[in-house]
Amino acid sequence: MQLVEKEQGGFLPFTLLVLFLVIVVVVVFITKGTRKIPVQYAKLTRGRKVYGGQRHFLPLKVNQAGVMPVIFASALLSFPQLMGSAVGWTWLENAFRVGAWWYTTLTVVMIYFFSFFWNSMMFNPVEMSKNMKESGSFIPGIRPGKRTAEFLERVMTRITLAGATFLALIAIIPSQMAMWISASVPVEVAYFLGGTSILIVVSVALDLVDKLNSALLMRNQGGFMSGGAAAAGKRRKGR
């Protein structure tokens, strides 16, 4: 029995480390994931020159709402527990404690609600289709105007559903993991495997990496341009 417990004690930290790495990779993948919609610009002929006709992509992020739905859901669901502890209603406090059935179910429902609500406020397919029509761009195979708006709304609904599912899973992982590992390790370890903390840390890290890449790119372009200007000045002096 002691040998079995030692084997489980040595295997559990390795399992938690692997789970942590897998969750971080999945969070990074979903956070950076986009749905690229092809956009074609109409060709304009003026004299002998042809303008436009270029093809670009409209990137739609899978997790466009970010961590806000999880924050809103956890903030609202903390009030019933505080009220139950203040008034003395034990049944209300137990029903809305972290990991309880009511708490988990309402967390998932509110994350879906706030994800769709946030994206509906930030993304307007009718206005976007109107702007595309005015700029002379269109989605290949989709008529400009109403058809484009319906297509963008349908795509955004599917993307929001996938992003909300991802956020719901990340939000309920700590409570479920706490029930599994509470007998072996402290409960606080479970909160390193999900929740708002890992979403915020990964988002800040990715934002920092993007800013560093932009700064390095601007520095390289500046060095290249200054080098070209210096070379041109030397050629002029040589002449």
**Chunked mean pLDDT (size 10), the chain, 239 residues:** 42 74 84 85 63 75 85 84 79 77 87 91 87 82 86 91 89 73 59 72 82 80 52 51
Q: Please tell me the distance from the alpha carbon of residue 139 to that of residue 38, in angstroms, as a whole number.
A: 6
Domains along the chain with CATH numbers:
32-222 (1.10.3370.10)
The answer, as to whether pTM is greater than 0.85, is no
pLDDT of amino acid 28: 86
pLDDT of amino acid 99: 72
pLDDT of amino acid 110: 92
Q: Are 80 and 96 in contact (CB under 8 A)?
A: yes
pLDDT of amino acid 109: 92
Q: Are 107 and 172 in contact (CB under 8 A)?
A: yes
pLDDT of amino acid 16: 74
Amino acid at 184: S
Looking at the DSSP assignment, which residues form a beta bridge with residue 49? 46
